[in-house]
Structure 1
Amino acid sequence: MTTTPHPLPGQTAKGIAFLVAGVAVFSVQDLILKLLSGAYPLHQAMLLRSLTAIPFLLFLVHWEGGLRSLVTPGTRAMILRGLVMFAAYTCYYLALAALPMATTVALYFSAPLFITILSVVFLSETVGPRRWIALMAGFAGLLIMVRPGGALFDWAALLPVLSGLTYAISMIAARRLGTSETASALAFWGNAVFLMGAILLSLIFGSGAWEGDAHPSLAFLLRGWVMPTALDLALMMACGIIAAAGLTLLTQAYRVAEASVVTPFEYTGLIWSVLFGWLFWRDWPDGTDWAGIAIITGAGLYILWREARRSA
């Protein structure tokens, strides 16, 4: 029987650094999309982002497994996973238009809670009583932040939760596909679905026939195409480069270090969201939001820690 060697301490440190950098890079994309959400439609930004990312993703595919890795018996499943990812990120980006960044990111971090439940249903994994308690606490944190029925309730708060759920479904699919498909192939087909989805949304809403005075999330979806300034065009295209760079950093993180060690550092995204929210919009979570953020983060980190111990 052979065992997988543990990475050297230096490699673990590199993995953590790669992941923290990758999360920071993707946080910049969130910032750009929120900045653009008041003047441009989401589908316009997504289309330009996806087109810009293609050459970078093709390079990653060639580097990791060759172009032949794009056409395999699992290609259809990769495309279906791409559709789920499209739903996840569309909900997330629409939420950014209406909610503070910190709130959106914190609610999105419901994903580990959903992953745990779905792993029981679809992967027949066993969850002990402590993780069930952490799950219930995490969902209590969600309710604190969403505030259903309260005067401050905004239905857009449901969007990042839905994003967390659909992202969890895509991660369960990735666990199955990851044994036979490369990470870059999964990313390429995910980007291809993004491009097709953006084209479809542009054909439906791009003329501006559906736009009007509406909720910020709806306006971000229904607004017609707008001729961008040179700066805004550069920002939209930069999202494609950011996506490719972020993917490279995250993939490298999980290559050189154990997932159980680096995954908790995904939560550094909350730091960036709070910082960017305060710097650009003077948004600062109130006491109730901080309580929800703390509970969701604590529950997610505890679940990840218990998963690491169980797998050790």
Structure 2
Amino acid sequence: MSGQPPSRLSAIILVLAGIGALCVLDALMKWLALRHGAPLATFGRYASGSIIALAVWQWQGRPWVAPGGLKPNVVRGSLLAVMALAFFWSITQLPLALVLTLTFVGPLVGPFMARLYLGEPVQPRYVAAGAMGFAGVLVTVGGMPQLSGTSLLAALAAVGAAILYAASAVIMRSRAAADGATVITLIAAVVPMLWLSPVAITAAAVPGWTDLAWMMATGLAGNIGVQLMARGYVHLEVQVSAVMEYSALPWAALFGWLLFDEAVAASTLAGAAIIAGACLWAAKAPKPAPKALSATPPAPVP
């Protein structure tokens, strides 16, 4: 290997593919959460993810975090446990497209979190691209319905999950070059599994073999998504990768059409076009490289 970092376009493709894998995870998790409840389904996702991540970690020679990296990775894993519970419960109460719409507040706050945590300057183009992407989401779903009671609580859970996800993405961006995708994926699976382990102990019944196999599939999809995104995040500013999150809605529409025979409305196509435009706008390389990134060139990711 030449040791040269991948191009900006390659990094963007990695992030987009990782988001697609996580959309597969969301579809599987909605089905499992409706059958077994969000807490048990979420534990199954991270337990299976831990098994797969441990196997990959062993195969990769047991790499470990760089000095000072354990604490932020454990904090990130803890945020993911709360985020996942909130998000997966919300998709059992609301349509997946609506939940995705609500979670897209994450890319709007991501650049400001990156400013505080990483020192990345907030560039107006990225903020405008994020707003443009959110407008595309609203076009896709035709606006927000009136919410009350459990639906309102689920909507608030989705927004809270989005903010926690944005915070976890900023931490991943800060550690991706130093720690590597293998270790990041492992800790991001093991820590939530440990937090959620009481759910397995108190479960009324053990899922059947078929459902256990689907839980393994969620672990695989989730780990692939995290691996791809961690590799792409090494070479992208948070503000760019945050806008890429809007590509989840076209992914969800595609999987709904392929797997569940869900018709794709004209508003979905129009919104997808706006979202694609926002992603392309944000993907355009900035003229000066941000100081915070140029000071620490990315290391190879195992």
Q: TM-score, normalised by structure 2?
A: 0.71
**Which residue of the partner structure matches residue 187 of structure 2?**
189
**Which residue of the partner structure matches residue 173 of structure 2?**
175
Secondary structure of 2:75's counterpart equals helix
Contact 1:146 1:158 in 2 (8 A): no
Contact 2:108 2:127 in 1 (8 A): no
What's the CA shift string for 1:1-52, capped at 9, x where partnerless? xxx96747xx956x66655544333322211111122220222223333232
Structure 1 residue 195: Cα displacement: 0.7
Structure 1 residue 67: Cα displacement: 2.6
RMSD: 4.0
**1:280 to 2:276 alignment:** no
Listed as ranges, the matches of 1:19-34 within 5 Å are: 19-34=15-30
Structure 1 residue 240: Cα displacement: 1.8
What letter corresponds to residue 282 of structure 2 in structure 1? Answer: L
Structure 1 residue 202: Cα displacement: 4.5
Contact 1:43 1:199 in 2 (8 A): no
Is the alpha carbon distance of 1:143 and 1:200 closer, same or farther for their aligned partners in structure 2, counting shifts above 3 Å?
farther
What letter corresponds to residue 180 of structure 2 in structure 1? Answer: T
**1:246 to 2:225 alignment:** yes
Q: Say which is worse superposed, 110-119 or 298-307, in terms of deviation.
A: 298-307
Is the alpha carbon distance of 1:188 and 1:177 closer, same or farther for their aligned partners in structure 2, counting shifts above 3 Å?
same
**Please, which runs of 5 or more residues in structure 2 have no aligned partner?**
291-302
Structure 1 residue 249: Cα displacement: 4.0
**CA separation in 1, counterparts of 2:22 and 2:127?**
30
**1:126 to 2:121 alignment:** yes
Structure 1 residue 53: Cα displacement: 2.5
Percent identity over the alignment is 25
**Please, which runs of 5 or more residues in structure 1 have no aligned partner?**
208-224
What letter corresponds to residue 240 of structure 1 in structure 2? Answer: G
**1:301 to 2:279 alignment:** yes
Larger radius of gyration: 1
**Which residue of the partner structure matches residue 160 of structure 1?**
158
**CA separation in 1, counterparts of 2:117 and 2:102?**
23
Contact 2:107 2:245 in 1 (8 A): no
**Which residue of the partner structure matches residue 47 of structure 2?**
51
Is the alpha carbon distance of 1:162 and 1:308 closer, same or farther for their aligned partners in structure 2, counting shifts above 3 Å?
farther
**Which residue of the partner structure matches residue 200 of structure 1?**
198
What letter corresponds to residue 247 of structure 1 in structure 2? Answer: V
Structure 1 residue 82: Cα displacement: 0.9
Is the alpha carbon distance of 1:250 and 1:74 closer, same or farther for their aligned partners in structure 2, counting shifts above 3 Å?
closer
What letter corresponds to residue 245 of structure 1 in structure 2? Answer: I
How many aligned residue pairs are there? 280
Structure 1 residue 69: Cα displacement: 0.8
Given candidates 36, 39, 45, the residue that maps to 1:40 is 36
